[in-house]
A = this chain, B = another copy of it.
């Protein structure tokens, strides 16, 4: 199933237009990214031969050591040599997808990260909402798009491979980051993490800890895919982490996003009183469902015309469920300021109001 070109065109139009409030995408707040420290780390790294040269496919030893250390503190004992540095979490998903038997099903729930669905489909897997799947994909700690913890019990109990994507796990507003799922079943759980949400997506650094039996095969796939993750990005990240209080950086991000989430939730309650959503427990976004069915691409088109964008719910659905699922959308609060969050909600209300002339929505 190819990506919906209409959604892509609308998102590109929205990104180009300054008058459109962008509530689409999973972008971190630019003001939180450590620009100065990153500039220093990059400049220092670029002076070294290692950062400018080729490296081994598994990635830089010091970075793998940092990742293993951090996971160890959270209850997952892991050898640095078990870690493979990837081009973001996305490449980790793509490598895992290619490893799983083509044609088999992968349980993703009724809504999940769109690019995971794309990676699974590209590898010939069948993403499905049914629980009886040959493997499972979970965005742990803070799910995407729902923004709340999801129950991993059934997936773990299935005895099947489980992909645990920790993209947002550290960004739980309460700071209660669950232990990595791999701590319970390291022989079946594929652990996926990223530096994109807290430090910078522009580095394109993520990581994968495959079950031990799959490490060699994954490492060869990684090398065939792109030889290695950028030496410069890895070397800069190592330097950045050396000079950074990472716990404090994460804590600051939690406070920041929790405040923005609160603003968006309040604005939605005020301006879209009949929308159904759960206040997020972390992450970057709110998942909104409406009572009625409808065409969410047409809704996005109307919204962009009114100066606000979002991610249509169909992007997040397993292919077979796209047509029959209720009308839904994801609103990201992470990359818009307080005033834009409120004004974006107002504009959305106006769009929904026009769609349903019988319903009056307070201004």
Contact = CB atoms under 8 A, between A and B. Distances in A.
A200 B39 contact: no
Given A87-B87, A227-B90, A232-B233, A53 B39 contact: no
B224 A119 contact: yes
A86 B227 CA distance: 12
A3 interface: yes
Residue from the set A45, A46, A94, A115 with the largest chain B CB neighbour count within 10 Å: A46
Given A115-B223, A221-B122, A230-B202, A43 B39 contact: yes
Interface string A192-232: 00001000111110000000000011001101111111111
Given A94-B226, A224-B94, A47 B35 contact: yes
A33 interface: yes
Given A118-B223, A226-B91, A39 B38 contact: no
Given A2-B220, A88-B226, A119-B225, 10 more contacts: A2-B217, A27-B53, A27-B54, A39-B46, A42-B236, A87-B204, A87-B225, A87-B230, A200-B232, A204-B229
30 contacts: A28-B53, A30-B52, A33-B49, A35-B46, A38-B46, A39-B43, A40-B43, A42-B236, A52-B202, A53-B200, A54-B201, A54-B202, A87-B226, A88-B226, A94-B224, A115-B223, A115-B224, A115-B227, A118-B220, A122-B221, A122-B224, A200-B232, A201-B231, A202-B230, A202-B231, A203-B230, A204-B226, A230-B233, A232-B233, A233-B233
Interface of A: 2-3, 12, 25-28, 30, 33, 35-36, 38-40, 42-47, 49, 51-56, 86-88, 90-91, 94, 98, 115, 118-119, 121-122, 196, 200-204, 216-217, 220-221, 223-233, 235-236
Q: Which 5 A-B pairs have the closest CB atoms?
A: A202-B231, A42-B42, A39-B46, A204-B230, A87-B226
